[in-house]
Amino acid sequence: MDLGLKDKVAWVLGASSGLGKASAQVLAAEGARVAMSARDEANLAAAAQEVGGHPYPLDVMDADAIAATARKIEDELGGFDILVANAGGPKPGTFDGFDDDALYEAFTLTTASAWRTTKAVLPSMRSRGGGAIVYITSITTKEIVDGLLFSNMMRAAVVGMMKTLARELAEDNIRVVCAAPGHHDTPRVQQLDEARSKAEGVPVAQIRERMAKTIPTGRLGEPIEFGNAVAFLASDAASFINGVTLTVDGGQLRSLST
């Protein structure tokens, strides 16, 4: 199937590793011109070289930097057809362990970054006749996960924005969707596994084995499997898919609202 991505300009955030890098990899393989952003310049440069993308270092906590980076990408690559909005997951923890500063940090990282990157690309998408926006969220938008209060909160807000924008931007030929990963073998999941290992006093391998048993496929996902889903959602092949959250989790969720 031709996904119709050749020469499309895609901006992928959180692209130095994990699901963001995998998304950039598939988009580039399908012929898109991929701008890749992340905070760590060295890791980003290495990832961009591997993928065949264009590195644009960015800390998504910085609103001014988001706008400036978008302008630079537009000047150098010609505009935006696709946005894959992604950021490192907010800190794990429970209500009593957080203060207002932590709340604001999680909001800025997860929710405000999606808002701000969308604001930055919309004028270009409109001028080019349309586009696709994919927010990378989490299965926490379908079922809450204990110990991930901020992910449960902030990613749900992104879904609310997605559903609203899918209706508001349809007249501009801009589709807006979410891709919700389950447990994939990424640095973020490894970090969470290590935190649970420490809290429970059991080996990390035991935590991962236990998690794999909750997934019908019997294993964690590979990042490239998620990247394939993102590329499809961003492509012309998904032209009538709008305002939905695609769960990519190997069948882990039991909820009927998938």
Q: Are residues 67 and 56 in the same domain?
A: yes
- pLDDT confidence of residue 70: 98
Whether residue 254 lies inside any domain: the answer is no
Q: Which whole-number Å values give the CA distances from 139 to 16, 59, 213, 218, 252, in the listed order?
A: 22, 24, 17, 17, 9
Contact (CB, 8 A) for 165 and 177: no
In the chain, % of residues over pLDDT 70: 99
When pLDDT is cut at 50, 70 and 90, the band that residue 258 belongs to is low
CA atoms within 13 Å, Cβ hemisphere of 7? 1
Q: Are residues 45 and 60 in the same domain?
A: yes
Pick the closest to residue 159 from 175, 132, 141 (CA basis). Answer: 141
Whether residue 74 lies inside any domain: the answer is yes
Q: Tell me: the pLDDT tens digits for 85-106?
A: 999 889 989 999 999 999 999 9
Q: Are residues 91 and 109 in the same domain?
A: yes
* Average pLDDT score, the chain: 94
Based on the structure, what is the number of domains in the chain?
A: 2
Whether residue 204 lies inside any domain: the answer is yes
| Residue-number span of the structural domain to which 195 is assigned | 185-220
Q: Are residues 29 and 93 in the same domain?
A: yes
Q: Are residues 241 and 202 in the same domain?
A: no
d(CA 72, CA 74): 5
